[in-house]
Amino acid sequence: MYPMLATLFRRRYISTDMREAVLYWHRQPVDNRMKGDAMMPCQSCGAPMGEQDKFCMRCGAARQEPARPAATNPSTVCPACGAAIDDSMRFCMHCGAKLSPLPAAVASAVPVEPEPQRKRGMTKGAVTAIVAVTVAVIAIAAFGVWWFVLRDDASAQSGAVGTPLSGESSESSDSNDAGDTADSGDADARGHASAGDKSRTAVCAVPDASLSDVRLDGTSLIASVDFESESCGDSSYSAAGVQVTIQDDGNVVAAAIYDFGDAPLEFDDGTAQADLAFTTVQYWRPYDQIDVSDASVELTEDATASGASAAAVEGALGGASIADTDIERYAQLAMSWQLDHDKTAANTFYSTFTTQLSSKQYGMQVEGKTWKYRDIYEQFLQRRAKHPNALFIWSGDYPTYQENGTTDFYVILSGEGFGSAADATAWCPANGYSTDDCIAVDLQ
């Protein structure tokens, strides 16, 4: 055996470690090499090795002491002998059985704080952000639509009044002319009228107005009004629903709503004139007691009428009445003014006779209706239209009514003077009044 080993050593068919292992093994006593209870397997090939062997006799690998883990998992044991093993061993240190690769050790359970579960749905902040973005997008889209529509309208208007482009058909020109005519009609309805053959005219704004004269036609008040407007030029004003209000010394003395589409105001160099008629429920002062020089006239567009317009009176444009509540208020104010105005003239009948044409109380139910202020004052205007000297008095101010206990009546006097009661009484039937409606009276 030695010659063979020497040959192998010389030819270097085995490594130096192998040679040292063989020589070492050969020098050891047989009992030490073969002692079964002290044997342990080679870590490389699994051959049994004695406690004193430093090299494996089969493969020549140097003896390696198995690594001792700090703590052995008691549940990891050799399936053959039950000895403790670890995942670095290929063979059991006690019985030499080949070991199958162990599964990776399961790490000890370490409490891990669970990731907070995300709330379903969107947070309030996310919803707010989405809503804000949506509103912004809608606003931008709306602005874009508005811009394009405005630009298109501007282009259309520009094209309507401009010169047709060369190459356009005559039908297109006719269509534009028709459109201009329709536009002019719309302008007329708003007080914008065409002048001559012009397709469009400047806007005729609400004109200024002044009172030049008042007169009576039957029971209607006729007011001559002068109008002035630089914007109207030589065009006409034909707006509907225009309230004309006349005031004198701070009181409304006439008001009605007119449709100038029926009788447009034709302006010449910015001025125009018209006669307006007011019925006995549309004016609240006798015509000859209105101070024309001190009166003012105001025009208000888009007024709401109460009923239809009255008929024209001798060429004067009739108007519709204003609201009933306003008529009642203006009538009451007119009655107060009239009582003060007529008191001086009434004092002349302390020593002479006149005739009484009516006596009414507010709320009295006679002649088929309940009398209100508007009814009482309207009757006075009607009587005065027939009798220019008629007076309006309060019965409680005079002795003759105080003696009779009739001190709360509005009384209409004819204002005609008579030397005797008989003469006054005779006047009543001569003027169409019965004894129930007309009596002789003095105020003493």
Domain boundaries defined on the chain: 2-49, 208-322, 328-441
Query: For residues 288 and 214, what is the distance between their CA atoms, to the nearest angstrom?
Result: 8
Which of 409, 411, 439 shows the shortest CA–CA distance to 426? 439
- pLDDT attached to residue 17: 53
- pLDDT attached to residue 149: 54
pTM over cut 0.85: no
Instruction: Determine the distance from the C-alpha atom of residue 169 to the mean position of all C-alpha atoms in its chain, rounded to a whole number.
Output: 45
Q: Please list the pLDDT of the chain residue by residue as tens digits (444 residues).
A: 444 545 544 544 445 555 555 455 455 554 444 444 456 777 777 777 777 777 777 777 777 765 554 444 444 777 777 777 777 777 777 777 777 665 544 444 444 454 444 444 455 666 677 777 777 778 787 776 666 555 555 444 444 433 333 334 444 444 444 444 444 444 444 444 443 434 334 578 999 999 999 999 999 999 999 999 999 999 999 999 999 999 999 999 999 999 999 899 999 999 999 999 999 999 999 999 999 999 999 999 999 999 999 999 999 999 999 999 999 999 999 999 999 999 999 999 999 999 999 999 999 999 999 999 999 999 999 999 999 999 999 999 999 999 989 999 999 999 999 999 999 999 999 999 999 999 999 999
| The residue type at 316 | A
Q: Which two tokens stand for residue 315?
A: 């060429």
- pLDDT attached to residue 323: 98
Q: Give residues with Cβ within 8 angstroms of 350, minimum separation 6.
A: 442, 443, 444
Which of 72, 70, 82, 80 shows the shortest CA–CA distance to 105? 72
B/e letters for 208-238, b = 16+ CB within 10 Å, e = fewer, are ebebeebebeebbbbbbbbbebebbeebbbb
- pLDDT attached to residue 194: 41
- pLDDT attached to residue 77: 75
HEC secondary structure over the chain: CHHHHHHHHHHCCCCHHHHHHHHHHHHCCHHHHHCHHHCEECCCCCCEECCCCCECCCCCCECCCCCCCCCCCCCCECCCCCCECCCCCCECCCCCCECCCCCCCCCCCCCCCCCCCCCCCCCHHHHHHHHHHHHHHHHHHHHHHHHHHHHHHHHHHHHHHCCCCCCCCHHHHHHHHHHHHHHHHHHHHCCCCCCCCCCCCCCCCCCEEEEEEEEEECCEEEEEEEEECCCCCCCEECCCCEEEEEEECCEEEEEEEECCCCCCEECECCEEEEEEEECCCCECCCHHHCCCCCCEEEEECCCCCECCCCCCECCEEECEECCHHHHHHHHHHHHHHHHHHHHHHHHHHHCCEEEEEEEECCCCEECCEECCHHHHHHHHHHHHHHCCCCEEEEHHHCHHHHHHCCCCCEEEECCCCECCHHHHHHHHHHCCCCCCCCEEECCC
